[in-house]
Amino acid sequence: MKPVPSSLFRSAFGALTLFAGGVLALALAFALAVPRARAHIVLPEKLHPVAESYRRVSFILNVIPVAWDQVDPEIVALAEYWRAIDAPAADNFLKDGQAIIAKATIKPDPEKGIEPMPRRQAAARVFELCTRVIPVLVRHHLKETEQRTDNRLETLAKVKKAHGIWQAFEDTLSVVDSEAYRAQGQAWLQMTSALGTPGLLGAGAVPFDRENFRQQSQVVLDYLDGSYGKEFHAVEGRRLAPAPIRSATFNHEAKLPLRLPPGTNINKQLPRPRQILNMTARGVDESETALIALGDMAFDSAEIFGEPARSLGINCNTCHNKSITNPNFFIPGLSARPGGADITGSFFAGQLNNGHFDPLDIPDLRGIRFLAPYGRNGRFESLRDFTRFAIVNEFNGDEPDPMLVDAIIAYMNEFDFLPNRYLNRDGTLNEQAPADARRGEKIFTRPFPQMNGMSCATCHIPSANFVDHKRHDVGTVKGSEPFSRDRALKTQTLLGIRHTPPYFHDGSHATLREVSEYFNNYYKLGLSARELADLTAYVETVGDGIDPMEDTVHTLEAEMQEFSFFLSAFEFLDDKNKPDLMGLTFRTIATEIRAHKWDLQDYTHLPVLDKMAELMDQADAARKTDDRVTMRKLVAAFRELYDKNKVFLK
Amino acid sequence: MKRTAFLSLLLTAAALSLPLPAAEKAGPKPKLAERPLNAKAAPLNIAFISYANPQQVARDSEGVTKYLQKYLGMAVKGFVTLDYGSAIEAMRSEKADLAFVDPLAFMMAHEQIGARPLLLEIYRSGKPSYHSCIWVRKDRGLKQLADLRGKSIAFADQVDMSGHLMPRDVFVRAGLLPARRIEGEFFKQIYFAGGDEQAMRAMFNGFTDAAGVSQYSLGLLRGEERDQVMALATSIESPAHLLMARPGLGEELTQRIKRVLVALDKTNSADKAILDKLYGVQGYVEAQLDDFAEIAKVAAAYGFVKKPEMFSVGKAKP
């Protein structure tokens, strides 16, 4: 089972800004043309470094706000590659690109008449510059290949470089100009075929067909030059994408595809964190906890969200894997570092865009029922309000059925902290705790005049799970202006903290030692190196837990048990006449089985998983026609099939 | 298939948790005794092939060379060649005593310089063999090989056993292609994509109607993509890639090398570390010359092997 909507990442600072027209248009333009179910473990897309940089920079430039400090390294990378081929041209490209970034990020000064270049205009100009680089580089490598040497491997490598760079446009071309895409693909195949082969030990040699190679390379180059040459311009008012609008076969109706860029990692961590559900820990029969089962299912379902999260397969569990932080989560342009993201940008839900790049560290949800208020700045007193807000406004979902929100909360209320063998019931350390930690405890509870007579424990109250349910300004947030009051954050628990680096709301501190040093400096506490070490040892000891991770990398068996658990809510939903929630359950189980099927260790049982997914599809179809009898039979068939085969589904 | 490409396929398969039935290795792991290094003995030279990343292969080969040195009691040196031809030439001039090669390179080396097969690699299927498939998209409505008449296919490379000759042989055995290479009689277009992944992608992206490559190429597609393709037909089994020895390498040493490498046990973490870097295989079994009897006939049809009957003579001579 698993854990809450990304509730927790979100910014609390700055007013909600709605760019009604622009954002809505952009949100529409973001509509997915090619929804792709995501496999459980998604291998990173391997592209040529130039194509990767191009796709990343294209993605980042489309997000509002633009993470300009992530754009710069990408254009530097493109320039570096180009420099080895044509240094003056590369230098000009870099100079032009960085000049635009400088204009876009300059601090406004109305008195001096200094205004930054509008985001949309700056993003379009950088995008155009980067796009025009691609045909130049492809041409270089193809022309190089035409001068083939006797070393066929080197020649093939050059063609592969050219093709790899051409792939910068492939995901767009395949959708918006499929006819040209196929012709280009076949031209590349003609080229590799034309290379021939020296054979092996004198046998099988095929000569280089230079003329055919030249003709086919011209097919590719003509298209690239015609579509993306010096005349290429971003289409006004549309998402920035390499749309070949001058191609005779360009499909103006096609929606531009949206894919997460290279460098993205939304896989869950392996090994998995150990999740403790209170009911399970108490030995409760899971098949009788219907609301919790429904909540568990919803937590794993991308369908409760809207686009683009839904089509990208992103759900609560993606970020809050098994109720704790997913330290791998990273999306260029949204994340500043792994384990965090800016949810208050335009990407997931344009209406929530706050206009500034403020990625937040994904919080741990263990013990969430003890940790009100909610949100990094504690802006919601109620977990229910927070959950609904995350679904609707952070991830663009439809207004959820009240029962669904209740279910998610019932599920999250089961999340327990890891047990800690060093803590007494009142949160003090026991005698088993290391000596340095016990010395640190005294520092932790010592009142400091520099903190108005308070101690660390004043806010992180040991007997209250190390929280005080209040918000404080501890200097970690940069305010909107010098005397602004927008800096307070809620007190975070220290329980489990050892297993959830990095630290602070923005993940800016990598270790707990750094955190100790920060407070020592901020409050001028004057702690010695020894005291800092002891204080850190204390926090590490409080933040520790027994068996934080599962001991296996094989997850299918547990996942299958969980899907069975999801379905245990069926009778409850049937009884309450909740067809939409039954449908959500069926579709989520089918999607999850298909996503996890390749985790199976023995593929001979793949047909069983295919059949189980198919039964869920059929149950959903029966639900749609209100054929309850058939629906119930299909659910029974699913359960029977699972029971019969579960020993093999590992 | 090219050595590095094959490694890539196997490692991809491993990353995707492809099935791992028990390997067909007979008997418990024999006990090996370490031998003191005989500094006077000539070193054993092993050629490792890498088409793409020689530096990485050079680093990865250190595990097995150290392991062999420990149990053979002689200096063992590895070096990397960029293609099978160079490895065979090194063996011809006695600069290489052993080489890791594919079945096609071995058969040619056996014919031309008398190289001997020592050990076959065991793959994640648990078998020391593999086959090729004719892959197609499910949504193309292709039900049988004959449906590919007048259509296009991508192979990996002209000189490639699993990425060309074996899948091509599927059509020959079905009576759809002549035994010798004649373009255009059945297919509208035949492409050589430059690798297994490129051939699979060409088929998946709709540039061609089919791809003829190794069974393991499925693992080069993403999970959701794999559900959209199917194998229309499979080839005969080919023996796995193998370790071969130059002619004249002493019989006692040859047998010791076999014993030491067959003893590598995937369930032992130290051994696993060696095998993972040794092209990602599961282990080794002894190779016999007549393991190659059937595919020698296939290779002969395309002029790579001149005397396929050489491979139908029972056990390899020491």
Who among A182, A201, A604 is closest to B207 (CB)? A182
Is A236 part of any domain?
Answer: no
Picking from A36, A197, A203, the nearest residue to B303 by CB comes out as A203
Contacts of A182 in chain B (CB under 8 A): 205-207
Strands B132-137 and B242-245: unpaired
The CA angle B100-B102-B108, to the nearest 5 degrees, is 100
The DSSP output letter for B118 is: E
Dihedral sign computed on CA atoms, order B176, B179, B180, B181: positive
Best B2, B204, B207 residue to mutate vs chain A (most A CBs within 10 Å): B207
Cis link prior to B28 (omega < 30° from 0)? no
Q: Is residue B303 less than 8 Å (CB to CB) from chain A?
A: yes
Q: Which of B83, B108, B112 sits opposite A153 (nearest CB)?
A: B83
ipTM of the predicted assembly exceeds 0.85: yes
Look at residue A198 and tell me if it is in a domain.
yes
Distance of CA B81 to the CA centre of its chain: 16
Domains B3-127+239-311 and B132-235 share a fold: yes
Does a structural domain hold residue A379? yes
DSSP A493: P
Owning domain of residue A567: 554-650
What Å distances lie between residue A235 and A60, A133, A172, A259, CA to CA? 17, 18, 14, 19
Same domain, A525 and A558: no
- Asked if A597's CB is within 8 angstroms of B16's CB, the reply is no
Rounded CA-CA distance A330/A406 in Å is: 30
Instruction: HSE, CB side, 13 Å, CA atoms: give it for residue A74.
Output: 29
How many Cα atoms occupy the beta-carbon half-sphere of A55 within 13 Å?
A: 27
* Dihedral sign (CA A27, A32, A37, A43): negative
The rounded distance, in Å, linking the Cα atoms of A547 and A276 is 11
Separation CA A647–CA A650 (nearest Å): 7
Residue at A247 is within a domain? no
Same-domain check for residues A463 and A562: no
Does residue A486 share a domain with residue A595?
Answer: no
Distances (CA, A) of B95 to A561, B55, B245, B246: 57, 20, 12, 10
My answer on whether A388 and A528 are in the same domain is: no
Q: Answer yes or no: do A36 and B21 touch at CB < 8 A.
A: no
Q: What is the pLDDT of residue A574?
A: 97
Q: Do A18 and A55 reside in the same domain of the chain?
A: no
- pLDDT for res A268: 87
Query: What are the tokens at A509?
Result: 């501190």
Residue ranges in chain A modelled with pLDDT below 70: 1-45, 148-149, 553
User: What 3-state DSSP class applies to B172?
Assistant: helix
At B181 the pLDDT is 62
- What span, in angstroms and rounded, lies between the C-alpha atoms of B125 and A129? 49
The answer to whether residue A40 neighbours chain B at the CB level (below 8 Å) is yes
CA distance A467 to A203: 76
Backbone angles phi, psi at B13, to 5 degrees: -60, -40
Note whether A356 and A457 are same-domain residues: no
Cα–Cα separations (whole angstroms), residue B180 to B192, B298, B299, B304, B308:
17, 10, 10, 12, 15
User: Do A311 and A182 fall within a single domain?
Assistant: no
Whether A72 is in a domain gets the answer: yes
The full DSSP string for A50-91 is: HHHHHHHHHHHHHSSS--HHHHHHHHHHHHHHHHTT-HHHHH
CB atoms within 10 A of CB A356: 15
> Which of B102, B224, B230, B244 should one mutate to test binding to chain A, selecting the residue with the greatest count of A CBs within 10 A?
B224
CB contact under 8 A, A203 and B304: yes
| pLDDT averaged per 10 residues, chain B (length 318) | 52 42 45 77 89 79 91 92 90 94 95 95 88 97 96 95 95 87 78 95 97 93 91 96 94 93 88 84 92 95 92 61
Inform me whether the C-beta atom of residue B62 falls under 8 Å from chain A C-beta atoms: no
Instruction: Out of 3.40.50.300, 3.40.80.10, 3.90.1150.10, 3.40.190.10, select the CATH number for domain B3-127+239-311.
Output: 3.40.190.10
Same structural domain for residues A400 and A458? no
Which pLDDT belongs to residue A601? Answer: 79
Number of structural domains found in chain A: 4
Cβ(A604)–Cβ(A634) below 8 Å? no
Do A536 and A559 lie in a common domain? Answer: no
Provide the CATH number for the domain around residue A474: 1.10.760.10
Most distant CA atoms of chain B, gap in Å? 66
Nearest CA-CA distance, residue B298 and chain A, Å: 14
* B4 in contact with A, Cβ within 8 Å: no
Report the pLDDT value the prediction gives residue A209, as an integer from 0 to 100.
Answer: 92
* pLDDT reported for residue B33: 77
B132-235 CATH? 3.40.190.10
Q: Between chains, do B158 and A197 touch, taking CB under 8 Å as contact?
A: yes
CA dist., res. A186 & res. B189, Å (int):
10
Query: Cβ of B222 under 8 Å from any chain A Cβ?
Result: yes
A38 — contact with chain B (CB < 8 Å)? yes
Give domain limits for chain B. Answer: 3-127+239-311, 132-235
Decide if A598 and B158 are in contact by the 8 Å CB cutoff. Answer: no
> CB–CB of A280/A286 below 8 Å?
yes
Angle among Cα A403, A408, A411 to the nearest 5 degrees reads: 120
In a domain, A254, yes or no: no
A159: closest chain B residue by CA: B194
Residue A96's pLDDT is: 98
Is B19 in contact with A159 (Cβ distance < 8 A)? Answer: no
Give the per-residue pLDDT at A154: 85
Tell whether A465 and A614 lie within a shared domain: no
Helix (H) or strand (E) holding A387, with range, is helix A383-389
B83 Cβ under 8 Å from any chain A Cβ: yes
Residue A588 belongs to some domain of the structure: yes
Q: Please indicate, yes or no, whether residues A439 and A535 belong to a single structural domain of this protein.
A: yes
Single out the residue of A178, A81, A87, A175 nearest to residue A130, CA to CA.
Answer: A81
Tell which B residues from 118 to 157 touch A, by Cβ distance under 8 Å: 154, 157
- B223 to chain A, any CB pair closer than 8 A? The answer is yes
Assess if residue A625 is contained within a domain: yes
